[in-house]
Structure 1
Amino acid sequence: MMENWQELTALCETCGCSVRYAEPLRNHTTFRIGGNCGAFVSINSIETLRRVLALCREKQYPYLVLGNGSNVLAADSGYAGVILHLGHDFSGIQQKGSELFCESGATLARIGKYALEESLTGMECLAGIPGTVGGALYMNAGAYGGEMADVVVSASYMLPDGTITEIPREKMELGYRRSIFREMDGIIVGTTLRLQPGNYGEIKAEMDTLMGRRRAKQPLELPSAGSTFQRPVGNYASFLIDQCGLKGASVGDAQVSTKHAGFVVNTGKATCHDVLELCDFVKQTVLEKTGYQLELEPVFVGDSEKP
Protein backbone atom coordinates (compact mmCIF):
# COMPACT_ATOMS: atom_id res chain seq x y z
CA MET A 1 0.00 0.00 0.00
CA MET A 2 1.22 3.46 -0.86
CA GLU A 3 2.25 5.50 2.16
CA ASN A 4 0.04 8.41 1.18
CA TRP A 5 -3.10 6.25 1.59
CA GLN A 6 -2.61 6.07 5.38
CA GLU A 7 -5.00 8.94 6.13
CA LEU A 8 -7.65 7.35 3.89
CA THR A 9 -7.24 4.06 5.77
CA ALA A 10 -7.65 5.82 9.11
CA LEU A 11 -10.71 7.75 7.90
CA CYS A 12 -12.40 4.61 6.58
CA GLU A 13 -11.78 2.86 9.91
CA THR A 14 -13.40 5.80 11.70
CA CYS A 15 -16.38 5.74 9.34
CA GLY A 16 -16.77 1.96 9.49
CA CYS A 17 -16.51 1.54 5.72
CA SER A 18 -14.26 -0.80 3.78
CA VAL A 19 -11.34 0.28 1.61
CA ARG A 20 -9.23 -1.90 -0.64
CA TYR A 21 -6.06 -0.94 -2.46
CA ALA A 22 -4.91 -2.03 -5.92
CA GLU A 23 -8.41 -3.47 -6.37
CA PRO A 24 -9.07 -4.89 -9.89
CA LEU A 25 -11.83 -2.93 -11.60
CA ARG A 26 -12.70 -6.03 -13.63
CA ASN A 27 -14.21 -7.39 -10.40
CA HIS A 28 -16.63 -4.45 -10.27
CA THR A 29 -17.78 -4.05 -13.89
CA THR A 30 -20.28 -6.23 -15.72
CA PHE A 31 -17.84 -6.32 -18.68
CA ARG A 32 -15.28 -8.02 -16.37
CA ILE A 33 -12.63 -5.71 -17.82
CA GLY A 34 -10.28 -3.22 -16.18
CA GLY A 35 -6.97 -2.88 -14.35
CA ASN A 36 -6.43 -1.89 -10.73
CA CYS A 37 -7.59 1.30 -9.06
CA GLY A 38 -5.59 3.12 -6.40
CA ALA A 39 -8.23 2.76 -3.70
CA PHE A 40 -11.74 1.30 -3.70
CA VAL A 41 -13.96 2.75 -0.97
CA SER A 42 -17.40 1.28 -0.26
CA ILE A 43 -19.41 4.31 0.83
CA ASN A 44 -21.87 3.53 3.65
CA SER A 45 -23.44 6.91 4.44
CA ILE A 46 -23.83 10.52 3.39
CA GLU A 47 -21.40 11.58 6.11
CA THR A 48 -18.79 9.05 4.98
CA LEU A 49 -19.06 10.32 1.42
CA ARG A 50 -18.71 13.93 2.61
CA ARG A 51 -15.61 13.14 4.67
CA VAL A 52 -13.94 11.05 1.97
CA LEU A 53 -14.59 13.79 -0.59
CA ALA A 54 -13.04 16.34 1.77
CA LEU A 55 -9.91 14.19 2.13
CA CYS A 56 -9.70 13.73 -1.64
CA ARG A 57 -9.84 17.51 -2.08
CA GLU A 58 -7.26 18.11 0.63
CA LYS A 59 -4.83 15.51 -0.72
CA GLN A 60 -5.72 16.23 -4.36
CA TYR A 61 -6.65 12.61 -4.97
CA PRO A 62 -8.56 12.16 -8.23
CA TYR A 63 -11.80 10.25 -7.70
CA LEU A 64 -14.61 8.66 -9.67
CA VAL A 65 -18.02 7.31 -8.65
CA LEU A 66 -18.95 3.73 -9.51
CA GLY A 67 -22.27 1.98 -9.01
CA ASN A 68 -22.92 -1.49 -10.38
CA GLY A 69 -20.39 -0.97 -13.19
CA SER A 70 -22.97 -2.02 -15.77
CA ASN A 71 -22.45 0.75 -18.31
CA VAL A 72 -18.70 1.06 -17.88
CA LEU A 73 -15.58 0.28 -19.87
CA ALA A 74 -12.54 0.41 -17.59
CA ALA A 75 -9.01 0.93 -18.88
CA ASP A 76 -6.54 -1.94 -18.90
CA SER A 77 -4.17 0.36 -17.01
CA GLY A 78 -6.81 0.91 -14.36
CA TYR A 79 -7.33 4.15 -12.48
CA ALA A 80 -4.74 5.63 -10.14
CA GLY A 81 -7.24 7.54 -8.00
CA VAL A 82 -10.03 6.71 -5.57
CA ILE A 83 -13.15 4.83 -6.64
CA LEU A 84 -16.15 5.87 -4.56
CA HIS A 85 -18.38 2.82 -4.70
CA LEU A 86 -22.07 3.54 -4.17
CA GLY A 87 -23.36 0.01 -3.91
CA HIS A 88 -24.93 -2.37 -1.40
CA ASP A 89 -23.77 -0.36 1.63
CA PHE A 90 -25.57 2.72 0.28
CA SER A 91 -28.83 1.28 -1.01
CA GLY A 92 -31.63 2.16 1.38
CA ILE A 93 -35.23 2.53 0.15
CA GLN A 94 -37.83 4.61 1.99
CA GLN A 95 -41.50 4.69 1.01
CA LYS A 96 -43.97 7.52 1.39
CA GLY A 97 -47.25 6.64 -0.26
CA SER A 98 -46.51 5.91 -3.92
CA GLU A 99 -43.12 7.65 -3.78
CA LEU A 100 -39.85 5.85 -3.11
CA PHE A 101 -36.68 7.61 -1.97
CA CYS A 102 -33.78 5.44 -3.03
CA GLU A 103 -30.14 5.86 -2.08
CA SER A 104 -27.95 5.81 -5.17
CA GLY A 105 -26.56 2.33 -4.65
CA ALA A 106 -29.96 0.65 -4.79
CA THR A 107 -30.22 -1.47 -7.92
CA LEU A 108 -33.14 -1.08 -10.31
CA ALA A 109 -33.82 -4.80 -9.83
CA ARG A 110 -34.18 -4.33 -6.06
CA ILE A 111 -36.34 -1.23 -6.48
CA GLY A 112 -38.48 -3.12 -8.99
CA LYS A 113 -38.93 -5.99 -6.53
CA TYR A 114 -39.82 -3.54 -3.76
CA ALA A 115 -42.34 -1.80 -6.00
CA LEU A 116 -43.89 -5.15 -6.96
CA GLU A 117 -44.28 -6.18 -3.32
CA GLU A 118 -46.02 -2.86 -2.62
CA SER A 119 -48.18 -3.21 -5.78
CA LEU A 120 -46.72 -0.04 -7.30
CA THR A 121 -46.52 0.21 -11.08
CA GLY A 122 -43.99 2.16 -13.16
CA MET A 123 -40.78 0.18 -12.66
CA GLU A 124 -41.62 -2.70 -14.99
CA CYS A 125 -39.55 -1.44 -17.94
CA LEU A 126 -36.60 -0.47 -15.75
CA ALA A 127 -36.34 -3.39 -13.33
CA GLY A 128 -34.37 -5.57 -15.73
CA ILE A 129 -31.61 -3.01 -16.30
CA PRO A 130 -28.54 -4.22 -14.33
CA GLY A 131 -27.59 -0.87 -12.83
CA THR A 132 -28.05 1.28 -9.74
CA VAL A 133 -30.62 4.06 -9.58
CA GLY A 134 -27.88 6.70 -9.37
CA GLY A 135 -26.17 5.44 -12.49
CA ALA A 136 -29.51 5.04 -14.25
CA LEU A 137 -30.49 8.64 -13.57
CA TYR A 138 -27.03 9.88 -14.58
CA MET A 139 -27.58 8.51 -18.09
CA ASN A 140 -31.40 8.49 -18.09
CA ALA A 141 -31.36 4.75 -18.66
CA GLY A 142 -34.33 3.13 -20.33
CA ALA A 143 -35.68 0.02 -22.00
CA TYR A 144 -38.83 -1.25 -23.71
CA GLY A 145 -40.31 2.20 -24.14
CA GLY A 146 -39.71 3.44 -20.59
CA GLU A 147 -36.92 5.52 -19.06
CA MET A 148 -35.92 7.12 -15.77
CA ALA A 149 -37.46 10.42 -16.88
CA ASP A 150 -40.89 8.77 -16.63
CA VAL A 151 -40.69 8.09 -12.89
CA VAL A 152 -38.14 10.46 -11.33
CA VAL A 153 -39.41 13.38 -9.24
CA SER A 154 -36.17 14.80 -7.84
CA ALA A 155 -32.62 13.94 -6.84
CA SER A 156 -30.38 14.77 -3.90
CA TYR A 157 -27.02 15.91 -5.21
CA MET A 158 -23.77 16.36 -3.30
CA LEU A 159 -21.49 19.10 -4.52
CA PRO A 160 -17.68 18.71 -4.26
CA ASP A 161 -17.67 20.82 -1.06
CA GLY A 162 -20.03 18.33 0.63
CA THR A 163 -23.19 20.41 0.53
CA ILE A 164 -26.37 18.74 -0.72
CA THR A 165 -28.89 20.33 -3.03
CA GLU A 166 -32.24 19.06 -4.29
CA ILE A 167 -32.71 19.07 -8.06
CA PRO A 168 -36.25 18.70 -9.45
CA ARG A 169 -36.89 16.66 -12.58
CA GLU A 170 -37.63 19.80 -14.60
CA LYS A 171 -34.04 20.98 -14.19
CA MET A 172 -32.36 17.65 -15.04
CA GLU A 173 -32.42 18.16 -18.83
CA LEU A 174 -33.29 14.51 -19.34
CA GLY A 175 -33.01 13.23 -22.89
CA TYR A 176 -31.91 10.10 -24.70
CA ARG A 177 -29.07 8.72 -22.55
CA ARG A 178 -28.30 12.13 -21.17
CA SER A 179 -28.92 14.35 -18.15
CA ILE A 180 -27.52 17.52 -16.70
CA PHE A 181 -25.57 15.37 -14.22
CA ARG A 182 -23.16 14.35 -16.98
CA GLU A 183 -21.94 17.95 -17.15
CA MET A 184 -22.00 18.69 -13.41
CA ASP A 185 -19.23 18.20 -10.87
CA GLY A 186 -20.91 16.33 -8.05
CA ILE A 187 -22.57 13.08 -7.02
CA ILE A 188 -26.19 11.89 -7.09
CA VAL A 189 -26.78 10.51 -3.60
CA GLY A 190 -30.51 9.79 -3.71
CA THR A 191 -33.43 9.75 -6.10
CA THR A 192 -37.16 10.12 -5.44
CA LEU A 193 -39.35 8.07 -7.77
CA ARG A 194 -43.10 8.52 -8.19
CA LEU A 195 -44.96 5.33 -9.04
CA GLN A 196 -48.68 4.54 -9.23
CA PRO A 197 -50.87 2.09 -7.34
CA GLY A 198 -51.40 -1.02 -9.41
CA ASN A 199 -52.35 -4.68 -9.38
CA TYR A 200 -49.69 -7.11 -8.09
CA GLY A 201 -50.57 -9.82 -10.60
CA GLU A 202 -50.51 -7.48 -13.58
CA ILE A 203 -47.22 -5.88 -12.49
CA LYS A 204 -45.58 -9.28 -12.01
CA ALA A 205 -46.86 -10.56 -15.34
CA GLU A 206 -45.41 -7.53 -17.15
CA MET A 207 -42.06 -7.88 -15.38
CA ASP A 208 -41.91 -11.59 -16.21
CA THR A 209 -42.79 -10.89 -19.85
CA LEU A 210 -40.08 -8.25 -20.24
CA MET A 211 -37.46 -10.39 -18.49
CA GLY A 212 -38.37 -13.26 -20.81
CA ARG A 213 -37.83 -10.99 -23.80
CA ARG A 214 -34.44 -9.94 -22.41
CA ARG A 215 -33.30 -13.52 -21.91
CA ALA A 216 -34.48 -14.52 -25.38
CA LYS A 217 -32.89 -11.64 -27.29
CA GLN A 218 -29.91 -10.42 -25.25
CA PRO A 219 -26.62 -12.23 -24.51
CA LEU A 220 -27.11 -12.18 -20.75
CA GLU A 221 -24.94 -15.28 -20.38
CA LEU A 222 -21.77 -13.35 -21.31
CA PRO A 223 -20.14 -10.30 -19.68
CA SER A 224 -20.94 -7.02 -21.42
CA ALA A 225 -21.69 -3.38 -20.69
CA GLY A 226 -25.20 -3.69 -22.08
CA SER A 227 -25.98 -1.86 -25.31
CA THR A 228 -22.59 -0.85 -26.70
CA PHE A 229 -23.73 1.87 -29.08
CA GLN A 230 -26.23 4.67 -28.70
CA ARG A 231 -29.28 4.62 -30.92
CA PRO A 232 -28.64 6.84 -33.97
CA VAL A 233 -31.41 9.21 -34.99
CA GLY A 234 -33.83 7.43 -37.30
CA ASN A 235 -32.41 3.93 -36.92
CA TYR A 236 -31.13 1.25 -34.53
CA ALA A 237 -27.48 0.42 -33.96
CA SER A 238 -28.14 -3.33 -33.80
CA PHE A 239 -29.98 -3.28 -37.14
CA LEU A 240 -27.18 -1.35 -38.85
CA ILE A 241 -24.46 -3.60 -37.41
CA ASP A 242 -26.38 -6.73 -38.41
CA GLN A 243 -27.04 -5.28 -41.86
CA CYS A 244 -23.27 -4.85 -42.31
CA GLY A 245 -22.67 -8.52 -41.56
CA LEU A 246 -20.75 -7.81 -38.36
CA LYS A 247 -22.40 -10.31 -36.00
CA GLY A 248 -19.62 -12.50 -34.61
CA ALA A 249 -16.83 -10.09 -35.61
CA SER A 250 -14.11 -10.17 -32.98
CA VAL A 251 -10.82 -8.78 -31.77
CA GLY A 252 -9.17 -10.99 -29.19
CA ASP A 253 -11.94 -12.12 -26.84
CA ALA A 254 -14.15 -9.11 -27.61
CA GLN A 255 -16.95 -10.11 -29.95
CA VAL A 256 -20.03 -8.57 -31.55
CA SER A 257 -22.67 -10.84 -30.05
CA THR A 258 -24.08 -13.48 -32.39
CA LYS A 259 -27.35 -13.18 -30.43
CA HIS A 260 -27.79 -9.39 -30.51
CA ALA A 261 -25.62 -7.21 -32.73
CA GLY A 262 -26.01 -4.21 -30.42
CA PHE A 263 -23.89 -5.90 -27.74
CA VAL A 264 -20.13 -6.35 -27.65
CA VAL A 265 -19.44 -9.25 -25.28
CA ASN A 266 -16.43 -10.61 -23.43
CA THR A 267 -16.06 -14.26 -24.46
CA GLY A 268 -13.12 -14.92 -22.16
CA LYS A 269 -10.33 -12.53 -21.27
CA ALA A 270 -11.12 -9.53 -23.43
CA THR A 271 -9.19 -6.35 -22.73
CA CYS A 272 -10.30 -2.74 -22.99
CA HIS A 273 -7.97 -2.45 -25.98
CA ASP A 274 -9.74 -5.39 -27.67
CA VAL A 275 -13.15 -3.78 -27.14
CA LEU A 276 -12.08 -0.36 -28.41
CA GLU A 277 -10.38 -1.82 -31.48
CA LEU A 278 -13.48 -3.87 -32.30
CA CYS A 279 -15.79 -0.89 -31.73
CA ASP A 280 -13.65 1.30 -34.00
CA PHE A 281 -13.90 -1.37 -36.70
CA VAL A 282 -17.68 -1.57 -36.28
CA LYS A 283 -18.08 2.21 -36.35
CA GLN A 284 -15.91 2.55 -39.46
CA THR A 285 -17.69 -0.26 -41.30
CA VAL A 286 -21.16 1.04 -40.46
CA LEU A 287 -20.21 4.56 -41.51
CA GLU A 288 -18.77 3.40 -44.84
CA LYS A 289 -21.69 1.11 -45.66
CA THR A 290 -24.67 3.04 -44.28
CA GLY A 291 -23.57 6.62 -43.63
CA TYR A 292 -24.55 6.41 -39.94
CA GLN A 293 -22.04 7.53 -37.30
CA LEU A 294 -22.31 5.32 -34.23
CA GLU A 295 -21.32 6.56 -30.77
CA LEU A 296 -20.30 4.44 -27.79
CA GLU A 297 -22.74 4.28 -24.90
CA PRO A 298 -20.59 2.99 -21.98
CA VAL A 299 -18.78 5.48 -19.75
CA PHE A 300 -14.98 5.18 -19.85
CA VAL A 301 -13.17 4.79 -16.53
CA GLY A 302 -9.46 5.50 -16.58
CA ASP A 303 -6.80 8.12 -15.92
CA SER A 304 -7.61 10.00 -19.12
CA GLU A 305 -11.03 11.43 -19.94
CA LYS A 306 -11.28 9.50 -23.18
CA PRO A 307 -10.01 6.05 -24.16
Structure 2
Amino acid sequence: MLYSKTTPEQKRTYFRQALASGKLLKFPGAFNPLSASLIQDKGFDGVYISGAVLAADLGLPDIGLTTLTEVATRAKQIARMTDLPAIVDADTGFGEPLNLARTIQEFEDAGLAGCHIEDQVNPKRCGHLDGKAVVDLETAVKRIRAAADARRDPNFLIMARTDVRAVEDLDTTIDRIKALVDAGADAIFPEALRDLSEFEAVRNAVDVPILANMTEFGKSKLFTQSELEGIGINMVIYPVTLLRIAMGAVEAGLEQITAEGTQEGIVDTMQTRSRLYELVDYESYNQFDAGVFNFQVPGRN
Protein backbone atom coordinates (compact mmCIF):
# COMPACT_ATOMS: atom_id res chain seq x y z
CA MET A 1 0.00 0.00 0.00
CA LEU A 2 1.21 3.50 -0.91
CA TYR A 3 4.87 2.54 -1.39
CA SER A 4 7.07 -0.44 -2.08
CA LYS A 5 7.94 -2.53 0.97
CA THR A 6 11.55 -2.65 -0.21
CA THR A 7 13.83 0.32 0.46
CA PRO A 8 15.89 1.90 -2.33
CA GLU A 9 19.06 0.64 -0.65
CA GLN A 10 17.71 -2.91 -0.63
CA LYS A 11 16.73 -2.64 -4.29
CA ARG A 12 20.24 -1.47 -5.22
CA THR A 13 21.85 -4.30 -3.27
CA TYR A 14 19.57 -6.85 -4.94
CA PHE A 15 20.32 -5.37 -8.36
CA ARG A 16 24.08 -5.66 -7.87
CA GLN A 17 23.71 -9.25 -6.72
CA ALA A 18 21.47 -10.11 -9.65
CA LEU A 19 23.94 -8.60 -12.12
CA ALA A 20 26.67 -10.86 -10.71
CA SER A 21 24.52 -13.97 -11.10
CA GLY A 22 25.21 -14.48 -14.80
CA LYS A 23 21.48 -14.49 -15.50
CA LEU A 24 19.98 -12.21 -18.16
CA LEU A 25 17.92 -9.57 -16.35
CA LYS A 26 14.77 -8.42 -18.18
CA PHE A 27 13.63 -4.80 -17.77
CA PRO A 28 10.45 -3.75 -19.62
CA GLY A 29 9.87 -0.01 -19.86
CA ALA A 30 7.15 1.33 -17.57
CA PHE A 31 5.13 4.20 -19.03
CA ASN A 32 3.42 5.03 -15.73
CA PRO A 33 3.43 3.80 -12.10
CA LEU A 34 0.61 1.31 -12.66
CA SER A 35 2.50 -0.41 -15.46
CA ALA A 36 5.45 -0.83 -13.07
CA SER A 37 3.16 -2.80 -10.76
CA LEU A 38 2.17 -5.01 -13.67
CA ILE A 39 5.83 -5.59 -14.62
CA GLN A 40 6.50 -6.89 -11.11
CA ASP A 41 3.32 -8.97 -11.10
CA LYS A 42 4.43 -10.73 -14.29
CA GLY A 43 7.75 -11.78 -12.80
CA PHE A 44 10.28 -9.53 -14.54
CA ASP A 45 13.60 -8.63 -12.95
CA GLY A 46 13.37 -4.85 -13.00
CA VAL A 47 11.73 -1.73 -14.39
CA TYR A 48 13.23 0.52 -17.04
CA ILE A 49 12.24 4.19 -17.27
CA SER A 50 12.83 5.46 -20.79
CA GLY A 51 13.59 9.06 -21.65
CA ALA A 52 11.78 8.59 -24.94
CA VAL A 53 8.68 7.38 -23.11
CA LEU A 54 8.76 10.23 -20.58
CA ALA A 55 9.10 12.73 -23.43
CA ALA A 56 6.29 11.11 -25.41
CA ASP A 57 4.08 11.12 -22.31
CA LEU A 58 4.50 14.91 -22.31
CA GLY A 59 3.78 15.10 -26.03
CA LEU A 60 7.43 15.86 -26.84
CA PRO A 61 9.97 14.25 -29.19
CA ASP A 62 12.99 12.50 -27.71
CA ILE A 63 15.49 15.32 -28.32
CA GLY A 64 16.49 16.33 -24.79
CA LEU A 65 13.59 18.68 -24.04
CA THR A 66 12.67 17.14 -20.69
CA THR A 67 14.18 18.61 -17.53
CA LEU A 68 15.87 16.89 -14.58
CA THR A 69 12.93 17.81 -12.36
CA GLU A 70 10.41 16.24 -14.76
CA VAL A 71 12.42 13.04 -15.16
CA ALA A 72 13.31 12.63 -11.48
CA THR A 73 9.73 13.28 -10.38
CA ARG A 74 8.20 10.80 -12.79
CA ALA A 75 10.92 8.22 -12.11
CA LYS A 76 10.25 8.47 -8.38
CA GLN A 77 6.53 7.96 -8.94
CA ILE A 78 7.25 4.82 -10.96
CA ALA A 79 9.98 3.39 -8.70
CA ARG A 80 7.87 3.68 -5.54
CA MET A 81 5.25 1.31 -6.97
CA THR A 82 7.46 -1.76 -7.18
CA ASP A 83 9.88 -3.83 -5.11
CA LEU A 84 11.99 -4.26 -8.25
CA PRO A 85 15.06 -2.14 -9.02
CA ALA A 86 14.36 0.66 -11.49
CA ILE A 87 16.92 2.20 -13.82
CA VAL A 88 16.33 5.50 -15.56
CA ASP A 89 17.51 7.15 -18.76
CA ALA A 90 19.54 10.25 -17.80
CA ASP A 91 20.07 11.35 -21.42
CA THR A 92 23.27 13.45 -21.46
CA GLY A 93 23.01 14.34 -17.78
CA PHE A 94 20.96 17.57 -18.00
CA GLY A 95 23.93 19.89 -18.31
CA GLU A 96 27.65 20.08 -17.70
CA PRO A 97 29.55 17.73 -15.31
CA LEU A 98 28.47 19.65 -12.20
CA ASN A 99 24.83 19.44 -13.31
CA LEU A 100 25.35 15.74 -13.90
CA ALA A 101 26.63 15.32 -10.36
CA ARG A 102 23.38 16.81 -9.09
CA THR A 103 21.44 14.52 -11.43
CA ILE A 104 22.95 11.45 -9.81
CA GLN A 105 22.05 12.58 -6.30
CA GLU A 106 18.51 13.50 -7.35
CA PHE A 107 18.08 10.00 -8.78
CA GLU A 108 19.46 8.44 -5.60
CA ASP A 109 16.94 10.46 -3.57
CA ALA A 110 14.17 9.39 -5.97
CA GLY A 111 14.77 5.73 -5.12
CA LEU A 112 16.33 4.62 -8.40
CA ALA A 113 18.77 1.70 -8.59
CA GLY A 114 20.83 3.22 -11.38
CA CYS A 115 20.89 5.31 -14.53
CA HIS A 116 22.65 5.53 -17.86
CA ILE A 117 24.43 8.56 -19.27
CA GLU A 118 25.10 8.93 -22.99
CA ASP A 119 27.82 10.52 -25.07
CA GLN A 120 25.70 12.36 -27.60
CA VAL A 121 25.92 16.11 -28.09
CA ASN A 122 23.09 18.41 -27.06
CA PRO A 123 20.43 18.45 -28.38
CA LYS A 124 20.44 14.66 -28.51
CA ARG A 125 18.44 12.38 -30.80
CA CYS A 126 16.66 9.10 -30.31
CA GLY A 127 19.34 6.38 -30.29
CA HIS A 128 18.08 4.52 -33.35
CA LEU A 129 17.70 7.54 -35.64
CA ASP A 130 20.20 8.74 -38.22
CA GLY A 131 22.08 12.03 -37.97
CA LYS A 132 23.43 11.58 -34.45
CA ALA A 133 26.60 13.30 -33.25
CA VAL A 134 28.72 12.33 -30.27
CA VAL A 135 30.98 14.36 -28.01
CA ASP A 136 34.74 13.86 -27.98
CA LEU A 137 36.22 11.21 -25.74
CA GLU A 138 37.43 13.68 -23.12
CA THR A 139 33.92 15.10 -22.64
CA ALA A 140 32.38 11.64 -22.47
CA VAL A 141 34.89 10.57 -19.83
CA LYS A 142 34.28 13.72 -17.77
CA ARG A 143 30.56 12.93 -17.66
CA ILE A 144 31.14 9.46 -16.27
CA ARG A 145 33.75 10.63 -13.76
CA ALA A 146 31.41 13.33 -12.49
CA ALA A 147 28.62 10.79 -12.07
CA ALA A 148 30.80 8.25 -10.28
CA ASP A 149 32.26 10.89 -7.95
CA ALA A 150 28.83 12.29 -7.06
CA ARG A 151 27.06 9.16 -5.92
CA ARG A 152 26.73 8.53 -2.21
CA ASP A 153 25.46 4.95 -2.35
CA PRO A 154 28.19 2.77 -3.93
CA ASN A 155 25.50 0.35 -5.12
CA PHE A 156 23.83 2.99 -7.30
CA LEU A 157 24.71 1.79 -10.81
CA ILE A 158 26.45 4.24 -13.15
CA MET A 159 25.99 2.98 -16.69
CA ALA A 160 27.65 4.59 -19.70
CA ARG A 161 25.74 4.56 -22.95
CA THR A 162 27.70 5.15 -26.14
CA ASP A 163 26.27 6.04 -29.54
CA VAL A 164 29.66 5.98 -31.28
CA ARG A 165 28.70 2.98 -33.44
CA ALA A 166 26.33 5.27 -35.36
CA VAL A 167 29.26 7.36 -36.63
CA GLU A 168 32.38 5.18 -36.26
CA ASP A 169 33.44 1.55 -36.72
CA LEU A 170 33.20 -1.18 -34.08
CA ASP A 171 36.87 -0.94 -33.08
CA THR A 172 36.48 2.76 -32.28
CA THR A 173 33.33 1.96 -30.34
CA ILE A 174 35.15 -0.64 -28.24
CA ASP A 175 38.03 1.75 -27.58
CA ARG A 176 35.56 4.30 -26.21
CA ILE A 177 33.79 1.68 -24.12
CA LYS A 178 37.08 0.70 -22.48
CA ALA A 179 37.81 4.36 -21.69
CA LEU A 180 34.36 4.79 -20.14
CA VAL A 181 34.89 1.75 -17.93
CA ASP A 182 38.27 3.13 -16.86
CA ALA A 183 36.50 6.41 -15.99
CA GLY A 184 34.21 4.63 -13.54
CA ALA A 185 31.29 3.16 -15.50
CA ASP A 186 29.84 0.13 -13.71
CA ALA A 187 28.07 -1.10 -16.85
CA ILE A 188 27.92 -0.38 -20.57
CA PHE A 189 24.97 0.31 -22.88
CA PRO A 190 26.22 0.08 -26.49
CA GLU A 191 23.44 1.64 -28.53
CA ALA A 192 22.30 0.52 -32.00
CA LEU A 193 24.77 -2.28 -32.65
CA ARG A 194 24.28 -3.95 -36.01
CA ASP A 195 24.18 -7.65 -35.20
CA LEU A 196 24.75 -10.25 -32.49
CA SER A 197 28.45 -10.56 -33.31
CA GLU A 198 28.94 -6.89 -32.40
CA PHE A 199 27.28 -7.42 -29.04
CA GLU A 200 29.54 -10.42 -28.51
CA ALA A 201 32.64 -8.36 -29.36
CA VAL A 202 31.65 -5.74 -26.81
CA ARG A 203 30.94 -8.46 -24.25
CA ASN A 204 34.43 -9.88 -24.74
CA ALA A 205 36.14 -6.48 -24.57
CA VAL A 206 35.26 -5.45 -21.01
CA ASP A 207 34.57 -7.11 -17.69
CA VAL A 208 31.45 -5.18 -16.66
CA PRO A 209 27.74 -5.86 -17.25
CA ILE A 210 26.43 -5.16 -20.76
CA LEU A 211 22.92 -3.97 -21.62
CA ALA A 212 21.12 -4.69 -24.89
CA ASN A 213 18.36 -2.39 -26.10
CA MET A 214 15.66 -4.38 -27.87
CA THR A 215 13.50 -1.56 -29.13
CA GLU A 216 11.05 -2.03 -31.98
CA PHE A 217 11.66 -0.32 -35.34
CA GLY A 218 15.34 0.22 -34.48
CA LYS A 219 18.67 -0.65 -36.06
CA SER A 220 19.23 -3.82 -34.03
CA LYS A 221 17.39 -7.04 -34.77
CA LEU A 222 15.05 -8.10 -31.97
CA PHE A 223 17.21 -10.86 -30.56
CA THR A 224 15.65 -13.45 -28.29
CA GLN A 225 16.49 -13.68 -24.62
CA SER A 226 18.26 -17.00 -25.20
CA GLU A 227 20.42 -15.45 -27.94
CA LEU A 228 21.46 -12.58 -25.69
CA GLU A 229 22.05 -14.77 -22.67
CA GLY A 230 24.06 -17.16 -24.84
CA ILE A 231 26.73 -14.51 -25.49
CA GLY A 232 26.80 -13.25 -21.91
CA ILE A 233 24.63 -10.14 -22.08
CA ASN A 234 23.52 -9.18 -18.56
CA MET A 235 20.50 -6.91 -19.12
CA VAL A 236 17.89 -6.42 -21.82
CA ILE A 237 15.47 -3.51 -21.95
CA TYR A 238 12.21 -3.16 -23.88
CA PRO A 239 11.99 0.62 -23.50
CA VAL A 240 8.93 1.69 -25.49
CA THR A 241 7.16 -1.65 -25.95
CA LEU A 242 4.43 -1.17 -23.33
CA LEU A 243 3.70 2.39 -24.42
CA ARG A 244 3.36 1.27 -28.03
CA ILE A 245 1.04 -1.58 -27.03
CA ALA A 246 -1.06 0.75 -24.89
CA MET A 247 -1.27 3.57 -27.45
CA GLY A 248 -2.10 1.10 -30.20
CA ALA A 249 -5.00 -0.20 -28.12
CA VAL A 250 -6.14 3.35 -27.28
CA GLU A 251 -6.15 4.36 -30.93
CA ALA A 252 -8.09 1.24 -31.94
CA GLY A 253 -10.58 1.87 -29.14
CA LEU A 254 -11.20 5.47 -30.17
CA GLU A 255 -11.76 4.33 -33.75
CA GLN A 256 -14.24 1.71 -32.50
CA ILE A 257 -16.23 4.32 -30.57
CA THR A 258 -16.26 6.62 -33.59
CA ALA A 259 -17.36 3.85 -35.93
CA GLU A 260 -19.91 2.10 -33.71
CA GLY A 261 -21.07 4.89 -31.41
CA THR A 262 -20.27 2.74 -28.35
CA GLN A 263 -17.37 0.92 -26.72
CA GLU A 264 -19.51 -2.20 -26.18
CA GLY A 265 -17.62 -4.23 -28.77
CA ILE A 266 -14.25 -3.86 -27.09
CA VAL A 267 -15.19 -4.19 -23.41
CA ASP A 268 -13.92 -7.79 -23.42
CA THR A 269 -10.42 -6.59 -24.39
CA MET A 270 -10.19 -4.10 -21.50
CA GLN A 271 -8.59 -4.61 -18.12
CA THR A 272 -11.41 -5.35 -15.69
CA ARG A 273 -12.23 -3.22 -12.70
CA SER A 274 -11.34 -6.08 -10.35
CA ARG A 275 -7.91 -6.46 -11.97
CA LEU A 276 -7.25 -2.73 -11.68
CA TYR A 277 -8.23 -2.80 -8.02
CA GLU A 278 -5.90 -5.76 -7.49
CA LEU A 279 -2.94 -3.91 -9.01
CA VAL A 280 -3.50 -0.76 -6.93
CA ASP A 281 -4.04 -2.93 -3.80
CA TYR A 282 -7.46 -1.45 -3.19
CA GLU A 283 -8.31 -3.91 -0.41
CA SER A 284 -5.35 -2.82 1.72
CA TYR A 285 -6.53 0.77 1.52
CA ASN A 286 -10.02 -0.33 2.54
CA GLN A 287 -8.67 -2.17 5.57
CA PHE A 288 -6.47 0.76 6.57
CA ASP A 289 -9.36 3.18 6.20
CA ALA A 290 -11.63 1.05 8.36
CA GLY A 291 -8.95 0.71 11.03
CA VAL A 292 -8.45 4.46 11.24
CA PHE A 293 -12.00 5.71 11.00
CA ASN A 294 -14.02 2.88 12.56
CA PHE A 295 -14.60 4.51 15.96
CA GLN A 296 -17.36 6.22 17.92
CA VAL A 297 -17.22 9.85 18.95
CA PRO A 298 -17.61 10.03 22.75
CA GLY A 299 -20.57 12.01 24.04
CA ARG A 300 -20.23 15.44 25.61
CA ASN A 301 -21.29 16.10 29.23
Q: Normalised by the size of structure 1, how large is the TM-score?
A: 0.27
Which structure features the higher share of helix residues? Answer: 2
The structure with the greater share of residues assigned to strand is 1
